[in-house]
Amino acid sequence: MYPAIFLDRDGVLIENRSDYVRGWSQVKIIPEAIRALSLEPIKKYKVVIVTNQSAIGRGLILLKTAQEINQQLINLIRDHGGQIDGVYMCPHQPEDGCSCRKPLPGLLLQAAKDLSLDLQRSWMIGDAWSDVQAGEAAGMRGTILLKTGRGSEQLLQHRLEMVTGNLVFDNLPLAFEAIFSIDNNTVIRSRS
């Protein structure tokens, strides 16, 4: 079984849009995030994108279009020497009550089953408390909230009682540095 790093898409790899990303032309890449995926230590992990895309359930975008956006993002990451081992997407609206929409851990559990992942040695990185909750619910080694995307705004909100512990970093490269340090049993300083 493999350790993994799970990444939310919007707010971690690409910029969030309040009106949803509906086509590739609306994608704005977070450059340091793409570069971070090509770091040498990342090769010790499976890298999996887990993303809620309620615009599909709301009828604002077709499932096929969302899949095409994800594939173009994967291609871009790979063209820059980065690695993505899987993408798992929830197309449902919050009120649909599915088990795959974060903060529930359905996407993470499915990826673990499909890719033979050891969740107790894995990490979840996102820009929202729902990402952190999903990682905790899946029993991950650690969770990280990034200040990119909605992260800074989330930190201003009352911390959810269900969130018991997580690290906070300004961006994905710093989060990766922390993961690599922790997993190699070295001491790090908080960089939030």
pLDDT at 153: 81
**Separation between Cα atoms, residue 16 and residue 62, nearest integer Å:** 18
Question: For the chain, what is the radius of gyration of the CA atoms?
Answer: 15
pLDDT at 21: 95
Return the CATH number of 4-183, one of 3.30.70.1110, 3.50.30.60, 3.90.226.10, 3.40.50.1000: 3.40.50.1000
- Residue pair 74/87 in contact (Cβ under 8 Å)? The answer is yes
Which pTM does this prediction carry?
0.91
Between 100 and 158, residue with greater pLDDT: 100
What residue ranges do the domains of the chain occupy? 4-183
> What type of residue is 154?
Q
pLDDT at 190: 42
Beta bridge partners of 14: 10, 29
Listed range (55-59, 75-79, 92-96, 182-186) with the worst mean pLDDT: 182-186
Torsion, Cα 112 116 120 124, to 10 degrees, reads -40
How does residue 138 score in pLDDT terms, banded at 50, 70 and 90? very high
**Separation between Cα atoms, residue 79 and residue 24, nearest integer Å:** 16
pLDDT at 164: 63
**Separation between Cα atoms, residue 142 and residue 174, nearest integer Å:** 15
- Which residues belong to the active site? 8, 10
pLDDT at 165: 66
How does residue 99 score in pLDDT terms, banded at 50, 70 and 90? very high
How does residue 33 score in pLDDT terms, banded at 50, 70 and 90? very high
Q: How far, CA to CA in Å, does 65 sit from each of 68, 84, 110, 151, 168? A: 5, 19, 22, 26, 32
Q: Write the burial class of residue 172 (CB in 10 Å: 0-12 exposed, 13-18 middle, 19+ buried).
A: buried
Residue 162 has pLDDT above 60, yes or no: no
- Residue pair 163/133 in contact (Cβ under 8 Å)? The answer is yes
Helix (H, G, I), strand (E, B), or coil: what is residue 10?
A: strand
Closest CA to 139 of 116, 123, 156: 123
Q: What is the mean pLDDT of the chain?
A: 91
Between 153 and 137, residue with greater pLDDT: 137
- 65-95 pLDDT, tens digit each: 999 999 999 999 999 999 999 999 999 999 9
How much is the average pLDDT of 149-168?
A: 73
pLDDT at 110: 98
Closest CA to 50 of 1, 122, 153: 122
**Separation between Cα atoms, residue 67 and residue 70, nearest integer Å:** 5
- 114-130 pLDDT, tens digit each: 999 999 999 999 999 89
pLDDT at 191: 44
